[in-house]
Amino acid sequence: MVDDEADVNTTIRQVLEDNGFNVDSYEDPHLALKNFKPNYYDLVIIDIKMPQMNGFAFHREVKAQDKEVKTCFLTAGELQSDHYSDDTFSSLPANCHIQIPIENKRLIERIEEIMTEVK
Amino acid sequence: MLKKERISKTNIVILAVVATVAVGVSIFLYQYSTFTSNKIGDIASQEVRSNARIEVHDISQILANKLQTVAALLQTLAEAPALHNNEYKRADIVINNRQHSSGDLTDFYMWLDKNGKINWLSNINETTYQKYKGTDLSYRPYFTIPKNTHAVYYSSLIESNDKVPRLYISYPVINMTGSGTNTRTLTGVVVASIRLETLGNFLKNQLFPQFNSTIGLLDRNGIILYATGAQQYVGEYVFGDKFQSVLSSSSHPPESKNLLNDLISKSLQGKIGSGDIFINGKMNTIAYQPVAVDGKNFLTLYISAQHSLATDVTALINQQEYFTTLIIAMLGAVAMIIAFLVFSWNKRLATVVNTRTEELKMAIDSLATANEQLKIHDKMQTEFINIASHEMKTPTQAILGYSKLIQRHPEKREEMIQAISRNATRLQRLTNDILDVTRIESRSLKLNREKFNLNVLISDVVDDYRNEIEKSNGRVKLLHEQLNQIIYVEADKNRLSQVISNLLSNAIKFTKEGTITVEAEIKGSKALVTIKDTGQGIDPEIIPRLFSKFVAKSESGTGLGLFISKSIVEAHGGRIWAGNNHSDVNGRGATFTFSLPLLRPTEGETTAGTAGANT
């Protein structure tokens, strides 16, 4: 997962690891892309609002490296905002994003849903 | 431009219509006026014609009656016994009596004997009698013709022995001694003489004085007996060279001479009539009628009347012409006034329309501006909700996550509690910022002003940050250069430290490595506070909007800090500005400066020199 907010990064990673997931997490999207291993990850969780790189741009880079990898977005903002008018987001399936704040239990449920449903 | 053209086109049409109507009415009036004056002229000419005919008829009748009277007097004289008996004394009375009776026309009466010699004359005395007695006049037609015809005789013009032109009427004196034709023996002839001059005067007196006309008289041979104002032609033959030549010179146009000659020829045949002939360029009616005595045409009378209108009629026509001209002029003037009014009305209308159009345009413009501002406001509102949402939800997520994880990972308890506290502080800061913005926008930001040394306040804030920096990032140095100066201001301490904190935390955020220098100085009546860093600098794109709401280059800010700082500085009567240290090279850092009004020097001097250097 990639999220510039250290505390969000830490908590979500911890919750996932506590539930048996292996997680590589990055606060810097450029570093994340540099270390990205194609055909290795089951799911890439991407924060949309990052100072270094927009989440959608990151998504495109990842898909360019690994067409088949599953992705989902993490959003704290409002969906009506201009930030989400990006074509990439509107072309993705409706439930491919996770709104934070989210309860740890609910987060695991959503991740499992996305893992089974979203291609 | 288009509108103007349309207006001038309409104006031209209106002007054309007005001009057409004015010209039409003028032409009509002129025609009517001409028609009327022609009609009046016709009526007047008709009047002249009929008057001329009436005059010639009347005067010829009067003259005929007069001559008849003279003939009758001669007849009674011829039958007088005194003449039959050659009684000269008595004859004198009888003859004088006749002359007395017709003296207004006749010149004298004369009695000739059977051989044509003068027996007696009227109004003569013994001496003149001796002079004329026995004068032989037997060659004169007035003797020979009655002698032969035994009937009355009217002569044509005769120049008498005394060179006076005269007309004569003569009557035979017949002695009726027995019965049958053989017994009629001529014993003499009585003659009445009429001077042409007397005849002329008589005719002149007969003319109606108001009737502007001339009179002419010919004898039956066409000899001129009388002509008003042309006595030099008396005795001339009317078709003779002298009269014809003067006729040629006074005839305009030339064909009128022939017309006149035709008319004279006709009249000499004893006909009655009239004709219109131009003489000297003016129309005249010439009426003619023979003067018949005892059924014989003795003379021919002519009345010539010019077709000139009576003065008052002329005046009336002139007046009407003047009036018509006046009406036409007035029509023209009225047309001009109407056209002028229409033009000025059009112009005024155009001005009003233009003004209204301008007003409408301005109203539309201001509506568009207002709409644009509403849109911007709307966008800012959405932006605010988005940022606020992000800034609230992110720390909430952290707090929520850690508070659950803390039970499961007691070994990380301290670390997690710190994280919870950090995120709670972040939430608090956001809450404060939002409240500040609300206060600023509702203009209810209140300042608790107090007097203090600005350098001391800066020192305190810098100290807090220095500890924090040194703990987390050893590569950034924070300097506060006090320059041994005490700078007194009257301000809200908390608010000012909020501004300095904000500027400092921005500088720290964008400076990974280098120096951040804070400096305060006095410049004129102002205190200047400068925060200079050696970080990445400000994106030139956002410099113009730097102090507006939600302008943040870092994705981890509310974008409210500089807006709040600016509002606080301005509320203190100061100004805030910023710029990059080097315009061309990125990464040399930025400088933020704000000013504050100083307290007056007298108020500050008392505590001068107490501050110490602290770096």
Take residue B484 and report the two structure tokens written for it: 């041994």
Instruction: List chain A residues with CB under 8 Å of B395.
Output: 7
Instruction: List chain B residues with CB under 8 Å of A5.
Output: 394, 398, 556
Cβ(B493)–Cβ(B452) under 8 Å? yes
Q: Do A15 and B398 touch (CB under 8 A)?
A: no
**Over the range A33-54, which residues count as b (16 or more CB within 10 Å of their CB) and which as e?**
beebeeeebebbbbbbbbeebb
Task: Determine the 3-state secondary structure of B519 from DSSP.
Answer: strand
Site of tokens 């051989």: B115
The predicted-structure confidence for A35-56, as pLDDT tens digits, reads as follows: 999 999 999 999 988 878 888 8
Q: Please report which confidence band the pLDDT of residue B445 belongs to, taking 50, 70 and 90 as the band edges.
A: confident
Write down the pLDDT at residue A23. Answer: 95
Instruction: List chain B residues with CB under 8 Å of A104.
Output: 400-401, 404-405
Take residue B420 and report the two structure tokens written for it: 């919870």
Strand order in the sheet with B282-293: B224-227, B213-219, B296-306, B282-293, B273-279
Element holding B475 (H helix, E strand): none
Site of tokens 């007005």: B18
The domains of chain A, with CATH numbers, are 6-117 (3.40.50.2300)
Q: Please report which confidence band the pLDDT of residue B484 belongs to, taking 50, 70 and 90 as the band edges.
A: low
B413 reaches A (C-beta below 8 A):
no
* Mean pLDDT on A14-34: 94
Q: Please report which confidence band the pLDDT of residue B3 belongs to, taking 50, 70 and 90 as the band edges.
A: low
Cβ(B441)–Cβ(B593) under 8 Å? no
Q: Do B398 and A51 touch (CB under 8 A)?
A: no
B419 reaches A (C-beta below 8 A):
yes
* Mean pLDDT on B101-110: 88
Nearest C-alpha neighbor of B440 from the set B545, B528, B549: B549
Residue B93 neighbours by CB under 8 Å, 6+ apart: B82
Write down the pLDDT at residue A106. Answer: 92
R_g of chain A computed on alpha carbons: 13
The predicted-structure confidence for B554-574, as pLDDT tens digits, reads as follows: 545 677 889 999 999 999 999
- Is the ipTM here above 0.85? yes
Instruction: List chain B residues with CB under 8 Å of A11.
Output: 397-398, 400-402, 405
Nearest C-alpha neighbor of A69 from the set A57, A81, A60, A79: A60
Count Cβ atoms within 10 A of the Cβ of residue B362 and give its class: 0-12 exposed, 13-18 middle, 19 or more buried. exposed
Instruction: List chain A residues with CB under 8 Å of B383.
Output: 81-82
The predicted-structure confidence for B525-565, as pLDDT tens digits, reads as follows: 899 999 999 888 888 888 888 888 776 655 456 778 899 99
Q: Taking CA atoms, what residue in B is nearest to A14?
A: B405
Q: Please report which confidence band the pLDDT of residue A26 belongs to, taking 50, 70 and 90 as the band edges.
A: very high
Q: Is the pLDDT of residue A92 over 80?
A: no
Q: Taking CA atoms, what residue in A is nearest to B381?
A: A81
Q: State the alpha helices, DSSP H only, in B125-176.
A: 126-132, 141-149
Q: Taking CA atoms, what residue in A is nearest to B384?
A: A81
Task: Determine the 3-state secondary structure of A54 from DSSP.
Answer: coil
* Mean pLDDT on B142-152: 89
* Mean pLDDT on B19-37: 80
Q: Do A14 and B397 touch (CB under 8 A)?
A: no
B418 reaches A (C-beta below 8 A):
no
pTM above 0.80, yes or no: no
Q: Do B385 and A81 touch (CB under 8 A)?
A: yes
Single-letter code of the amino acid located at B249: S
Q: Do B386 and A83 touch (CB under 8 A)?
A: yes
Q: Do B408 and A18 touch (CB under 8 A)?
A: yes
Q: Do B398 and A7 touch (CB under 8 A)?
A: yes
Top-confidence range, B9-23, B132-146, B174-188, B593-607: B132-146
* Mean pLDDT on B109-120: 88
Single-letter code of the amino acid located at B95: I
Cβ(B263)–Cβ(B302) under 8 Å? no
* Mean pLDDT on B496-515: 89
Residue A34 neighbours by CB under 8 Å, 6+ apart: none
Write down the pLDDT at residue B457. Answer: 92
